[in-house]
Amino acid sequence: MNKRVLSGMRPTGRLHLGHYFGALKNWVTIQENYECFFMVADWHALTSNYADTSEIKDNSIDMVIDWLTVGVDPNKAVIFRQSEVKEHAELFLILSMVSPLGWLQRCPTYKEQLKEIQSKDLNNYGFLGYPVLMAADILLYKAQNVPVGEDQLAHLEYSRELTRRFNNFYGEVLLEPQALLTKTARVPGLDKRKMSKSYGNSILIAESEDEIVKKVKTMYTDPARIKATDAGHPEGCVVFAFHELFNKNFETRKQECKGGCIGCVKCKKELAELMCEFTKPFVEKRNELLKDKAAVEKILDEGRQKASAEAAETMKEVRKSLKF
Ligand code: TRP
């Protein structure tokens, strides 16, 4: 039997290259060798977007279309919405009883976001409980592995500790999950910060050619370089970071840049061409998928059925262990 994996993403709408190189590319690979459950974490979106929920539904569909666009395969993986499998809420409730407040308050992502995000009031109980809900997602499917980026490691550790605490009280019912750490590339945004929708510095997975050309032109380059013949510094250059992702001859480019043999304008033009070539099949696939949203809903409905069956089994055991 293949090991089981659960992973999820909050529905933020159309996905960008940071999502692709940071997670999705890996999902497409692991679906071959793991029994995968890929979840739209729409209740998680609610933890911080409770005041305006108008976009969550459309964003979920847009996100799933991008999953399918890059090759996440509903014949290999179970694709479903968290909010359609109510057992997530039930296990979340039970886990919340054994979640020490201090653990949650000390969570680094919690502290950081509370400080950083000024545009929303995050002093709500659900936001504090974010890692508890995430633990419920994973434990409900007895997933051995969770592919996570570094930013989610603290949450996974929380799930592990919570599992031990739960099992201590009620018996060996839940399975302690392990991180599935894979090498992923860090993708900078156009302005060199981390690529993120909220920074407005991203390039979509299925970005049009025109947009790619426009965006590559705005990429941050080496400010110390004035003339094309000046020696460049590829290490800190966003354009070069993208050559590393899209240009198989990036080593040659590095030398050319350092030697002042190529100017930034030409370097960007070549990058844009390579990126357009890469995204072209994604643009086509996405347009095709957009024509039949009903088919996407059908995939989610089949996923819901499969996920529900597994979740129901676990909850039976959980209720029994609590002597309910
Ligand atoms: N917290 C994850 C993120 O923001 C999304 C998520 C929700 C998740 N539940 C999960 C990831 C369970 C892995 C496993 O990216």
- The whole-number average pLDDT for the span 262-267 is 94
- The whole-number average pLDDT for the span 310-320 is 98
Q: What percent of the chain has pLDDT over 70?
A: 100
**Confidence class for position 241, pLDDT limits 50, 70, 90:** very high
pLDDT of residue 117: 87
Query: What spacing in Å lies between the alpha carbon of 7 and ligand 1's midpoint?
Result: 6
What are the tens digits of pLDDT across the range 3-24? Answer: 999 999 999 999 999 999 999 9
pLDDT of residue 182: 79
pLDDT of residue 1: 80
3-state SS, one letter per residue, for 202-263: CCECCCCHHHHHHHHHCCCCCCCCCCCCCCCCHHHCHHHHHHHHHCCCHHHHHHHHHCCCCC
| Distance linking the first and last C-alpha atoms of the chain | 31
Q: Is the pLDDT of residue 315 over 90?
A: yes
pLDDT of residue 223: 81
Q: Is the pLDDT of residue 296 over 90?
A: yes
Q: Which protein residues touch ligand 1 with a CB less than 6 Å away?
A: 6-10, 41, 44, 134, 137-138, 146, 148, 152, 155
Q: Is the pLDDT of residue 75 over 90?
A: yes
- Name the residue with the closest Cα to ligand 1, atom 9: 134
**66 three-state secondary structure:** helix
Q: Which two tokens stand for residue 211?
A: 């947009």
Report the half-sphere exposure of 321 (CA within 13 A, side-chain side): 18
For 48-83, b/e burial (b = at least 16 CB within 10 A) is bbeeeeeebeebbbbbbbbbbbbbbebebbbbbbbb
- Name the residue with the closest Cα to ligand 1, atom 11: 8
- Pick from 137, 153, 162 the residue to mutate for probing ligand 1's pocket: most ligand atoms within 8 Å of its CB: 137
C-beta separation of 3 from 144 below 8 A: yes
- The whole-number average pLDDT for the span 247-268 is 94
What are the tens digits of pLDDT across the range 167-224? Answer: 999 999 999 999 998 778 889 999 999 999 889 999 999 999 999 999 999 998 888 8
Query: What spacing in Å lies between the alpha carbon of 147 and ligand 1's midpoint?
Result: 9
Say which range, 42-46, 151-155, 286-290, has the weakest mean pLDDT: 151-155
pTM greater than 0.85: yes
pLDDT of residue 148: 85
Determine the atom of ligand 1 nearest the C-alpha atom of 130.
Answer: 1
pLDDT of residue 116: 87
Q: What percent of the chain has pLDDT over 90?
A: 89
**Confidence class for position 150, pLDDT limits 50, 70, 90:** confident
Query: What spacing in Å lies between the alpha carbon of 9 and ligand 1's midpoint?
Result: 5
Determine the atom of ligand 1 nearest the C-alpha atom of 6.
Answer: 14
Q: How far apart are CA 324 and CA 317, in angstroms?
A: 10
- Name the residue with the closest Cα to ligand 1, atom 2: 9
pLDDT of residue 228: 83
Query: What spacing in Å lies between the alpha carbon of 179 and ligand 1's midpoint?
Result: 12
Q: Which two tokens stand for residue 127?
A: 């936001």
What are the tens digits of pLDDT across the range 39-65? Answer: 999 999 999 999 999 999 999 999 999
Query: What spacing in Å lies between the alpha carbon of 180 and ligand 1's midpoint?
Result: 13
- Pick from 155, 178, 181, 182 the residue to mutate for probing ligand 1's pocket: most ligand atoms within 8 Å of its CB: 155
pLDDT of residue 277: 97
Average pLDDT, the chain: 95
